[in-house]
Amino acid sequence: AAAFLRLAQAVTDDPDERARLKEREAEAAETAAQQARAEQLYEELIALHHERADLPAAARVVVKLARMMNATGRVGDATARLEEAAPWVESGEDEETRGALSAQLARAYMLGSIPARAVALADEAIGIAERGNDLPVLIDAIITKGTALIETRAREAETILHGAVALADRHELYRASLRARGNLANVLENDDPRLAHDISRDAVALARRLGMLDELWYQQTQLGLRLIALGDTAEAVRVLREILDDESAPETSRWFAALMGAIASAYEGDATRLEELRATARRLEPRVTNPEWLSGNEWSYGFLAYLGGDLDTAAEQFRKAAEYGGSTHPDLHDWYGRVLVQ
């Protein structure tokens, strides 16, 4: 698809049509998990719209660029770009773009562990999207709101996310549906790990059927995590190895797969594979600013040290995880305290 879109750009003399085709090429690259190429195209489009003094159009592309940054853990970059673009649509002339920007900025605040601001901005985006009947933005903002409530109002979060899955499925908005399913599984992973596993399994099947590689790799890493929680470590290693063996998978997905695979290997008592995967995870460790990812990274290394009996290293890693996680993650502090007591 991307190749045909590049050919179409070469034969058209209409600058507006060329810009539309470049945007579709960027979206195709994003879906194929060609993140560097997608980012390059989005940046070219933003520059092009600036040259034409079309700030609302530039803001619309910033939203798509930030969506990709949010999804790959670059929350700080996403927040900065969205906050910079916010004044470009404040006049109210393009309310649709303002709603989309508010929804994506709410997601960045949620991922950056600023839940109150995330909920407030998600509500603003929901209101704008309802007025304009903009279902993709509406559902995206609902998912963000539900996810932002996980730590403080888990049952409400679960209800909201169930509704988001149903609404997205009814309108065949599958990217939103996959995001809602992934976040719903996160809500349920402690209370009902079997249901969380089934949701992740179905999300993998849906992403595979639709050919959405970016979503497939993310959902598959989540499935590996659910399998570990259920004690099926052999199947977890197999699922995660599929990602690690695919050189076209993004480094963020391969990093997470290596980290979770190391934990599964530790449970299985396979010291050789554990060290191999731990070294791979360290090598692939991405440049991320998502506090939850940073916290999870340190916790995972701490847990591996804990399983290996190295309590001093475990305590230090859990302390770092707690610092990244902040007061909204008391379980991280519990792990730190548990190791100190031992």
Q: Do 42 and 26 touch, CB atoms closer than 8 A?
A: yes
pLDDT in tens, 300-317: 888 888 888 888 888 888
Distance of CA 274 to the CA centre of its chain: 26
pLDDT at 330: 47
Q: Do 163 and 138 touch, CB atoms closer than 8 A?
A: no
Residues with Cβ < 8 Å from 230, sequence gap 6 or more? 193, 194, 197
* Structure tokens given for 329: 């993650």
CA distance 165 to 176: 8
CA distance 58 to 335: 45
Q: Do 301 and 339 touch, CB atoms closer than 8 A?
A: no
Sign for the CA dihedral angle at 309, 313, 316, 321 comes to negative
pLDDT at 2: 59
pTM over 0.85: no
- The secondary structure of residue 163, as a DSSP letter, is H
pLDDT at 20: 79
What angle in degrees, to the nearest 10, is found between the helix axes of 213-229 and 15-31? 20
* Structure tokens given for 194: 């079997």
* Structure tokens given for 293: 């990812």
pLDDT in tens, 260-284: 999 898 888 888 988 898 888 888 8
pLDDT at 333: 46
CA 84-27-18 angle, to 5 degrees, is 85
What pLDDT tens digit does each residue of the chain (342 aa) get? 556 566 666 556 667 777 777 788 888 888 777 888 899 999 999 999 999 899 999 999 999 999 999 988 888 999 999 999 999 997 766 899 999 999 999 999 999 889 999 999 999 999 999 999 999 999 999 999 999 998 889 899 999 999 999 999 999 999 999 999 999 999 998 889 999 999 999 999 999 999 988 889 889 999 999 999 999 999 999 999 999 998 888 888 888 899 899 989 888 888 898 889 888 888 887 766 777 777 777 888 888 888 888 888 888 888 888 777 654 454 544 544 555 545
pLDDT in tens, 55-91: 999 999 999 999 999 988 888 999 999 999 999 997 7
